[in-house]
Amino acid sequence: MTRITPQPGIMDIKLYESGAAHVAGVSNAVKLSSNENPLGPSDAAIEAYKRGAYNLHRYPSSDQGDLRRAIADVWSLDADRIICGAGSDEVIAFLCQAFAGPGDEVIYTEHGFAMYKISALAAGATPVEVRENERVTDVSAILEACTAKTRLVFLANPNNPTGTMIGLAELERLADGLPEQAILVLDGAYAEYVEGYDAGAAMIDARENVVMTRTFSKLYGLGSLRVGWGYGPKGIMDVLNRLRGPFNLSQAAQDAAIAAVRDTAYVAHCRGENAKWRAWLANGLAEVGVPSDTSNANFVLARFADQAEAEGCDAFLQSQGLLVRRVGGYKLPAALRITVGDESACRQVVHAVKTYKDSRT
C-alpha cells in the first residue's frame, strides 16, 4: 500500500460538472447551460484584451491596483479592501483555506452553488448543508444550524440555481445572528442583474463579519478570462491577500475587466435585455405548463412534473440543439436551469418545450 496519500477531505470531492457545451451531431448548438451573457462582453473590454497581446512578455500587475480602483469607483467602495481572484471561485477557495480547516464547519444552503462544498472539503473542513424553504433561503434554518465550529456561511443572493433572493432585513438578521467566530459570505455572482442592489456593500461597511464575492463571468460576459473579486473588512482581506498568488490574474484579464466595469452603459443595456427576455421566457414556459419561481438572475429554474419529464425534455431540447442545465446534482431532479439567451434562443426554447409537452398529452 502506497504511503503517498492526499490530505483529508480531498478524496470526498466530487468533480465539478460544468454546463454542457456540445451536442453530438449538432454544430451550432445554443448554449444555455452556464449562465453566460448571450450578448458577450463590452466592445471596450474586447479592445483592451486585444491591446494586451503586445505585452504578453511582461508580468502582470501584482497588486492589481488599477482594477481595484476601477471597481471601487464604479461601486463606491474602498479599493484597499478589494481582492481580485481568478474568478470568484478563487476567492471562495481563499476564504475556506484561510478560515476553515479540520474540525471546522462550513454552511451553505440545500440547493447552493457546488463550489462551496468543494472548497470546504479541499480545506479539510466539514460541509454542512441547510434546508431551504421551497427553494428560498431560510435564515432561521441557517442560524439554527450554526455551532461553535461554524467558520463560514456561504449564501448566493440571488441564488443559483433557484434564482430567488432574500431582502436586506433578512441578510442583516443572518449576519447579526451568527456566532462570533463565523463569517457570512454573500456571493453576488448575479448581483448586477438586480437594479439598485448593492450586493451587501453597506452591510459589510457596518460590520466585521461579512464579506462579498463578485464576478466578471456573468453579466460582464468574461467567463473565459477568470476574473472575480471580493470585498470585506480590512482584517479579513489582509488574511486572504497572503494566500493570493502575486500574479493570479493576467494583465489582459485585468485590463479587460477595467474596461468592462467602466462601461456602465453596456451593463445597463445587458441588465435590461435580460430582464425583458427573462420575463418573456418565464411567461412562455408557464403558458405551456412549466412554472418557475420569480428569477432575479439571468436564468430561470423551470419546474416539470417529475424527474422523468425533466430529463425527457432535456433530451428533446438537446435534439433541437438547445443545451440547458440538469440540476439533479443540486437536489432539483425535476427541474432544468435555463439561461436567458437572446431573443432567438428564448423563442426556440419555448417552442421546443411546448412541442415536447404537446407530445406527451
Among 349, 249, 240, 355, which Cα is nearest to 300's? 349
Given the rule CB under 6 A, which of 10-18, 216-224, 255-263, 347-355 is the region that contacts ligand PLP? 216-224
Cell of 63: 497588486
Pick between residue 223 and residue 333 the one whose CB is nearest to ligand PLP: 223
Amino acid at 57: H
Number of H helices, E strands in the chain: 12, 12
Report how far residue 204's alpha carbon sits from residue 187's, in angstroms, rounded to the nearest whole number. Answer: 13
Nearer to ligand PLP, 317 or 327 (CB): 327
Per CB under 6 A, 217 contacts ligand PLP = yes
Q: By CB under 6 A, tell whether 289 contacts ligand PLP.
A: no
- Least distance to ligand PLP, CB of residue 228, Å: 4
Nearest to 301 by CA among 331, 271, 270, 273: 331
- DSSP structure class, residue 109: E
Beta carbon nearer to ligand PLP, 30 or 191: 191
Which position's Cβ is nearest ligand PLP? 87
Binding of residue 156 to ligand PLP (CB under 6 A): yes
Size of the site for ligand PLP (CB under 6 A): 14
The correct pick among 64, 119, 126, 160 for binding ligand PLP (CB under 6 A) is: 160
- Closest to ligand PLP by CB, 330 or 356: 330
Q: Is residue 223 near ligand PLP by the rule CB under 6 A?
A: yes
Q: How far is the CB of 301 from ligand PLP (least distance, A)?
A: 12
The answer to whether 113 contacts ligand PLP (rule: CB under 6 A) is: yes
Classified as helix, coil or strand, 240 is helix
Which residues, 6 or more positions from 143, have their beta carbon under 8 angstroms from its beta carbon? 174, 177, 178
Q: At what angle do helices 307-319 and 343-359 cross, to 10 degrees?
A: 120
**89 contributes a contact to ligand PLP by CB under 6 A:** yes
Distance CA 339, CA 341 (A): 6
Q: How far is CA 5 from CA 8, 119, 122, 143, 320, in A?
A: 9, 19, 14, 36, 46
**Which region, judged by CB under 6 A, interacts with ligand PLP, from 20-28, 39-47, 100-108, 211-219?**
211-219
- Residue from 87, 127, 163, 230 in contact with ligand PLP (CB under 6 A): 87
Residues at the contact surface with ligand PLP, assessed by CB under 6 A: 35, 87-89, 113, 156, 160, 187, 189, 215, 217-218, 223, 228
